[in-house]
Structure 1
Amino acid sequence: MAEEVVPMTMPDQDTETIRAIQGLENGDPSVRLRAALAVGTSPGPRFVDALVERCAVEPEFYVRDMLTWALTRHAAAMTVPRLIDELRSERAQARSQALHTLSKIGDRRAWPAITRALLTDADDEVARSAWRAAVVLVPEGERPELAGVLATQLGRGERATQLSLSRALVALDSVITPALRAAMTHPDPRVRQHAIATERLSRDPDAGFEFAIEEAKRVVALGGSGKEE
């Protein structure tokens, strides 16, 4: 006697999962935003890959922000390894968003994945995300080495990029002093200016970066190094 074949039915949970993942890919950004909010409100392992993959291609900043929030609502044991894998992506946005999300999760097990290659990435957004993640995740004993790597990027990019680097360096506190003092005598005036401005900002955070960089320009124009005699 042949066995009776019982038709398989899709559990409600699977239906909800498919609906949420489809929402993340919807052409309407407001629908994607609501889908990310729903996934973050009711997190589950089945959503992690879809969230990470959407981060790599999502064009809207506010939706990416919600995707990051949704990922932080999941267990780090699920998200951190997946995000570390994403750091090897050829897509700059994938690397940048993974770094940004790792900085928000704050799990220091991700620290070894913040490589020199990421800290010096040719894409400014990736590098800026790497700087922010690094200062959150770096172990105490490795802060001087990190400061040295970050100092190699002084003078890089436009004002927003330079401000990001200065903030990262200042967050490392006094360990940045040797690297900054060395950069104040660098042959490139942009490097000298940025080092001087960062040092000023570390001493007087309330002065603001614009004031610090303009003051640094005057010092360099007059042939100074910014070092106190």
Structure 2
Amino acid sequence: MLIGDVARRSGVSTRMLRHYDALGLVRPTGRTAGGYREYSAEDVRRIFHVESLRTLGLSLKQIGRALEDPAFTPSALVSDLIRQTEDRLAREEELLERLRAIDASTPTGWPEVLRVVELMRELDSTSAARRQQAVLARPEDVPVPAELLAGAVLTESDPHVAGALRWALARSGGDGMATLRAGAHSEDAGVRRRAVLAIAGMPEAPGAVEVLADALGDPDATVRRHAALALGRQGVAAAVPTLVGMVVEGSNDVDAAEVLGTLSLDPECTDRITTALVDELSAPTANSAARIRLTQALVELAGATAQEVLRQLAHDDDSDVALVATALVDVLEERCLDDR
């Protein structure tokens, strides 16, 4: 079979067939009287083998080795191909995200595109100081794509840079919620923490309350705490159990107590919060330190019920709890005198 016939039947160009011949990868078995390449059925079969291996991403050199070396085992090579393909896909995914960020900035010209690319490069710096400067030093009249900032928030581990990114994101004019919502459902607890903390700084963004409410059921305690503090500041009563738990555990208990105090200004929440704190005070598992924190939280609450509970705690069997409660009752009485 002549080279033209082989090209038509195999779909491999004559130029590529000549290249295979030059490399010694597929050499025609014979030549015609006129010197033209003549391929046998076995040669054509080898061409199809080469093309099949090329579809797996093997180089021509690797293909030659695979077809010529009887001791060649494909498992190691296939494993390498898998890793190379995963790396390539990761790079392409990163490129796709960069293109989406540029598109989201709706550039009107190449200068705007170049500014976004420059910001991307700075945010990828290994220097935390440089990353922070890239966010804080942006001119007021240069918009920063919210989705770009949101993506950076989810991956930033330095607390100072993360704080700058959250600040910039809240002021960006776009909400970045699509990226943050995806981050809030990540398998990585660290990503979920960063996502919820960022959403907490954007309480007015569409869908923010819903994402935070879902986060109250997150398996990670830190995620739940971030969500509860943010929701409590928004007056969402569903945060009460988590906030009370934070007081008991001593995790951001001062912040939690303050938020409970704000929630207690709603008459519908006052009794619920007071009852929850009293229940924890009388729980058999409550130790002295937890009961002191609960006592301190009561002073933040509005309403006469919490004050009455404090007066009762001033006579508690635990002398430390009684001492704290007595001091807090004195504070309440001074407030009453000041209000007259």
State whether TM-score is above 0.5: yes
Specify the alignment match of 1:146 in structure 2.
239
Specify the alignment match of 1:137 in structure 2.
234
Per-residue Cα deviation, 1:191-218 (whole angstroms, up to 9, x for no partner): 5443222113447xxxxxxxx9xxx8x9
Per-residue Cα deviation, 1:91-124 (whole angstroms, up to 9, x for no partner): 33322222222222221641121236x3364545
Is the contact between residue 264 and residue 301 of structure 2 (CA under 8 Å) also seen in structure 1? Answer: yes
Matches within 5 A, 1:139-178: 142-143=236-237, 145-156=238-249, 159-174=250-265, 175=269, 176-178=273-275
Deviation, structure 1 residue 63? 0.9
Q: Distance in 2 between matches of 1:154 and 1:69?
A: 28
Identity of aligned residues (%): 19
Per-residue Cα deviation, 1:62-98 (whole angstroms, up to 9, x for no partner): 111110111011235x323332222112233322222
Residue 282 of structure 2 corresponds to residue 185 of structure 1: yes
Deviation, structure 1 residue 17? 0.9
Is the contact between residue 119 and residue 127 of structure 1 (CA under 8 Å) also seen in structure 2? Answer: yes
Deviation, structure 1 residue 179? 2.0
Q: Distance in 2 between matches of 1:59 and 1:224?
A: 39
- Relative to structure 1, the CA distance from residue 88 to residue 74 in structure 2 (aligned partners, 3 Å threshold; closer, same or farther) is same
Q: Distance in 2 between matches of 1:152 and 1:101?
A: 22
Is the contact between residue 128 and residue 158 of structure 2 (CA under 8 Å) also seen in structure 1? Answer: yes
Deviation, structure 1 residue 40? 7.7
Query: Cα RMSD (Å) of the superposition?
Result: 3.4
Is the contact between residue 39 and residue 70 of structure 1 (CA under 8 Å) also seen in structure 2? Answer: no
State the one-letter code of the partner of 1:94: V
Larger Rg: 2
Q: Distance in 2 between matches of 1:177 and 1:152?
A: 13
* TM-score, length basis structure 1: 0.69
Q: Distance in 2 between matches of 1:30 and 1:223?
A: 46
Deviation, structure 1 residue 160? 4.8
Is the contact between residue 23 and residue 35 of structure 1 (CA under 8 Å) also seen in structure 2? Answer: yes
Alignment coverage as a number of residue pairs: 197
Deviation, structure 1 residue 223? 10
State the one-letter code of the partner of 2:252: T
- Relative to structure 1, the CA distance from residue 110 to residue 183 in structure 2 (aligned partners, 3 Å threshold; closer, same or farther) is same
Is the contact between residue 196 and residue 226 of structure 2 (CA under 8 Å) also seen in structure 1? Answer: yes
- Relative to structure 1, the CA distance from residue 121 to residue 133 in structure 2 (aligned partners, 3 Å threshold; closer, same or farther) is same
* 1:127 aligned counterpart, secondary structure: helix
Specify the alignment match of 2:160 in structure 1.
62
Matches within 5 A, 1:1-229: 11-38=110-137, 41=140, 42-44=142-144, 47-76=145-174, 78-107=175-204, 109-115=207-213, 118-119=215-216, 121-138=218-235, 142-143=236-237, 145-156=238-249, 159-174=250-265, 175=269, 176-190=273-287, 191-202=290-301, 219=316, 221-222=318-319
State the one-letter code of the partner of 1:155: V
* TM-score, length basis structure 2: 0.49
* 1:187 aligned counterpart, secondary structure: coil
Deviation, structure 1 residue 32? 0.4
* 2:126 aligned counterpart, secondary structure: coil
